[in-house]
Structure 1
Amino acid sequence: MAFYNKIKWILGILMIFVLIIATNLIDKNNFVRVRDAVVTIYEDRLIANDLIFEMAKSVHQKELAVLVLDSTFFKSKNAKVNINLKALVSRFEDTKLTLKEANVFKDLKSNIEALVAAENQFLNSNFTNKAPVIGYIENLKANLEDLSKIQLSEGSRQMSISKRALDTVELFTQIEIYILVFLAVLIQIIVMYKPKEKV
């Protein structure tokens, strides 16, 4: 009879061990999803949003200079602003882009190149024809606005992924508690149960 009791104890402990390992593996997977979502929100959304803001500032400087026909800006500062803008574009390219974001970003890059060419023509025309420059600036502003909206929607999507993962962890934790209570009661019944001996 002692051997039978040992088997019951071993089976009971093994069931608890398997349950704990299974729930820990599920929890680990969900925590990895949460971590990845948080990293993505920071690296690919917040940093990208900051880069968009910096690009918008550079575009605004150019717009202001064109509107007031600031020849000093174009002769001394514009080259530096262009270098800064290209550096920001390069840094933005390093973030993880969605398909829609990649299309808008591709359009943004071509609009920047077109703007630089239009600015050169604007300088060569002795600041007489600013319409093409204004047109490309408006295109860039629209691109930056679209990219900013994408950051917001993608950040929201990543937050909902992490929320679902945390909800799953919470659900499995509750299920684990119920199963552990059930197993504890079952083990007690198995241990306490003594079959009637035949007379």
Structure 2
Amino acid sequence: MKNNSSLLGKIKLIIALVLVLGLVIGTNVMDNTSFDIINKSVTTIYEDRLIAHDLLYKISKEIHEKQLLLVTEDTESHQKKNQQMNGTIKSLITQYEETTLTNKEVEYFDDLKKNIEELMNLETQFYQGKVTSEKEGLEEQQQAVFKKLSGTLDNLTSLQLDEGQKQVVYAMRAYQNSDLLAKMEIGALILIGLIIQVFIFYTPFRK
């Protein structure tokens, strides 16, 4: 009878330990999932939103300087400066391509690259032009492209803000879920503690 009681006690203890182990493993998996979501969101906000936003700002700045350069007197120094800005813009475009883009961003980004290519072609014709009337016509075309570029850059910048806000929402949800899980874990541990006490100390068949 004593052996049976000892065996029953061991079984109860094993069941209690399994319950605790199951709870620890389950909550650990859920915590890791929430942590991964938060980590991914924070990384995305920095690498694909803040950096991308900064690149767009720099591209916009270069485009604005090119537009100002267009209305000044045409000289070789201006042409050389414009070529340097083109090199900077191409480098910024390459860096932007390395960020993660949504489908909508890809659409606007393709428009941006096409508009920049069109602008550079017009600039080449402008600096090679000899006739004043021809240069004036090319200048008007460039101004039209500048307007399209401004709109496209605005759209891309707005998308960065929208996507950044989405990532913040994802991170906050994951944090709230993790916080709720932690509270549930404490409650479950208390409940299991009570169950363990019942298993160990309550023996209804003892005589």
TM-score (norm 2): 0.91
Q: Pick one of 170, 186, 192 that aligns with 2:201.
A: 192
For 2:102 and 2:73, how far apart are their aligned partners in 1? 38
For 2:39 and 2:205, how far apart are their aligned partners in 1? 56
Counterpart position of 1:83: 87
Amino acid at match of 1:10: I
For 1:184 and 1:41, how far apart are their aligned partners in 2? 42
Counterpart position of 2:146: 137
Counterpart position of 2:178: 169
Any residues of structure 2 matched to 1:38-187 within 5 Å, and which? 38-72=42-76, 74-123=78-127, 124=129, 125-126=131-132, 127-129=135-137, 130-187=139-196
For 1:158 and 1:47, how far apart are their aligned partners in 2? 15
Q: Aligned Cα RMSD in Å?
A: 1.4
Q: Report how many aligned residue pairs link the two structures.
A: 198
**3-state SS of 2:136 partner:** coil
For 1:91 and 1:45, how far apart are their aligned partners in 2? 13
- TM-superposition CA deviations, 1:48-95 (whole Å, max 9, x none): 011001101100111111233453554220111011101110110111
**3-state SS of 1:96 partner:** coil
**3-state SS of 1:128 partner:** helix
For 2:73 and 2:122, how far apart are their aligned partners in 1? 14
**Once the 2 structures are TM-superposed, how far is the Cα of residue 128 of structure 1 from its aligned partner?**
2.2
Quote the sequence identity (%): 34
Is the Cα contact below 8 Å between 1:104 and 1:146 reproduced in 2? yes
